[in-house]
Amino acid sequence: MSFFISKLLPQLIYPVSLTIWLSIFSGLFAWRGHKRLAGIALFLSIALLWVSSMRVTADYLSISLERKYLPVPIESSPVADAILVLGGGVATAEPPRLAPDLDKASDRVLHAARLYKAGKAPVVIVSGGGIAWQGATKPIAIPMKIILQECGVPATAIIMETKSLNTYQNVVETKRILEKEGRVLLITSAWHMPRALATFRSAGINAIPSPTDFEAIELEQRTILDWLPEVKALERTTRIIKEYMGIAVYRWRGWIKEGD
């Protein structure tokens, strides 16, 4: 139940949710005859949605997290005892799908396959369970393993962790798998790496960041399109806001220690 609430409550303060609340207040103010307050609430709702949907806003927020750990070329990556891939980017083969579905974060699995084939670690650990109310009836680790095998990683070199439902549980369940002290190459999306790495290191796991899925790219100049509303930008802005909320909650709960 607490996990469900932790996923539900943030929905109330995301840009789209706040826009809806402000629009409702605008209607209520107008109904009560407070035209000025109604106008202010309506203006704020439009301004909030516009700013949150601009590519410049999404890029600024993304860069604030993604540039903390820069990508490392495969050949320059250190050798470790295991490659650890956090769940994401792959959806289970639920009907009518006949195979795992990939999205832009599937870079995580592809990056792990490249590191393994380059001899950077003898095993790959895929970590992620299934959240039924989000449409996944099977652990996300299963399709991750399938994709790894299709990329040439043998099944004998893949270890599945299928119980975790969030980053903290990734740490708890992975720690049970690791039989000895050693180094792991931690793979997740660049925007998620700061929280993930801090949580693993706070738990005493010697994790080395190997980020992928960088969304904010370097642009020589901006165009007018970067200042216009865009659905993809709104989704990215919302995700980064959620990530900052996650960092704050993890620090509050003591899952991230000061200095990590």
The 10s digit of each residue's pLDDT in 99-146 is 888 888 889 999 999 999 999 999 999 999 876 545 556 899 999 999
Q: Which amino acid is at 186?
A: L
Backbone angles phi, psi at 186, to 5 degrees: -90, 120
What pLDDT, on a 0 to 100 scale, did the predictor assign at position 100?
86
- How far is residue 86's CA from residue 172's CA, in Å, rounded to a whole number? 13
Top-confidence residue, 176 or 192: 192
End-to-end CA distance of the chain: 29
Q: What global pTM score does this model have?
A: 0.91
Give 118's Cβ-side CA count (13 Å radius): 17
Q: Which amino acid is at 98?
A: L
- How far is residue 85's CA from residue 210's CA, in Å, rounded to a whole number? 10
Residue spans in the chain of domains classed CATH 3.40.50.620: 74-209
51: exposed, middle or buried (C-beta count within 10 Å: 0-12, 13-18, 19+)?
A: middle
What pLDDT, on a 0 to 100 scale, did the predictor assign at position 36?
96
Residues 4-57 have pLDDT tens digits of: 555 666 777 899 999 999 999 999 999 999 999 999 999 999 999 999 999 999
Q: Per-residue pLDDT for 89 more than 90?
A: no
- How far is residue 38's CA from residue 31's CA, in Å, rounded to a whole number? 9
| Residue 16 near residue 49, CB atoms below 8 Å | yes
Q: Which two tokens stand for residue 214?
A: 């960088």
Distances (CA, A) of 91 to 68, 105, 112, 217, 236: 28, 11, 17, 25, 19
Please list the residues that pair with 133 across neighbouring strands. none
What is the Rg, in whole angstroms, of the alpha carbon atoms belonging to the chain?
A: 21
Residues 184-227 have pLDDT tens digits of: 999 999 999 999 999 999 999 999 999 999 999 887 788 999 99
What's domain 74-209's superfamily in CATH?
HUPs (3.40.50.620)
Please list the residues that pair with 229 across neighbouring strands. 54
Question: How far out from the chain centre does Cα 99 lie?
Answer: 22
Please list the residues that pair with 199 across neighbouring strands. none
Nearest CA to 189 out of 155, 224, 240 is that of 240
Mean pLDDT, the chain, integer: 90
Nearest CA to 147 out of 118, 111, 177 is that of 111
Nearest CA to 185 out of 99, 83, 113 is that of 83
